[in-house]
A and B are shown apart, each in its own frame.
Chain A
Amino acid sequence: MKISVQREDFDVSLETRNLSRGGGVGAVASFVGVVRDVRMTLEHYSGMTESSIRKIAEQARTRWKVTDCTVIHRYGELAPHDQIVLVAVASAHRGDAFAACEFIMDYLKTQAPFWKKEHRPEGAAWVEARASDDDAAGRWEPPARKAS
């Protein structure tokens, strides 16, 4: 398992190729988050970011057959179209790889301590958390705890 919180950019094809070399791997699913149309600064809680991502990835490994996974999240100054985050999951089959990748990403959005500040012409502003992100993470909760 590779977890990295870094300023530098990352190479998706290199990371997914590394995962595909694992024994028994038949599928690698990856997600890349990119900056939309605005310059931003990403702040994080050094130490907790790494440990929280590790916990999320370990949860994914208990729920699906995951051979290995890589999560890279950047911080610092980012420009439009820059890559922000990579979640890549290797598994024997695509079902587990897709599900674990989405699970890790959904939990990362609500659990990993990162904060985005956007720099727009009218001034800088912190991005507000969205309820839809909590909903996305909540759908992975066990059925007994669902509202319906």
Chain B
Amino acid sequence: MKVKVLFFASLREQLGTASEEIDLPAGVGTVAALRGHLARRGGPWEGALAEKKNVRAAVNQDMVKPGAPIRDGDEIAFFPPVTGG
């Protein structure tokens, strides 16, 4: 399953990347599982995406809860709580 992953704001800076295409292994079927998969890369990934960090997510540009499913071709974004307005 291939997905596009985007990172914004402080998360983008900590990870040193704004987006990447990832080929996911079987079993990574939710936003929370994808976050865990990325965190296991270690280094800044582990720090920025650790469970205690307040990270929000969107699937195909809709804000979602961690349990939201992901499918082939999805665009998944991770970002800190928003601060617009």
Contact of A129 among B6, B58, B82 (CB under 8 A): B82
Number of interface residues of B (CB under 8 A): 17
- B9, CB-defined interface residue at 8 Å: yes
Known: A51-B61, A52-B63. A114 touches B79 (CB 8 A): no
Interface size class of A (residues with CB under 8 A): 20 to 34
Query: Which chain A residues have a beta carbon within 8 Å of chain B's beta carbons?
Result: 33, 42-45, 47-48, 51-52, 73, 84-85, 105, 108-117, 126-129, 133
Q: Is the interface of A mostly helix, strand, loop or mixed?
A: mixed
B58–A84 CB distance below 8 A: no
Contacts of B58 in A (CB 8 A): 45, 48, 113
Contacts of B80 in A (CB 8 A): 115, 126, 129
- B45, CB-defined interface residue at 8 Å: no
Contacts of A111 in B (CB 8 A): 63, 82
Give chain A nearest CB distance to B1 CB in angstroms: 22
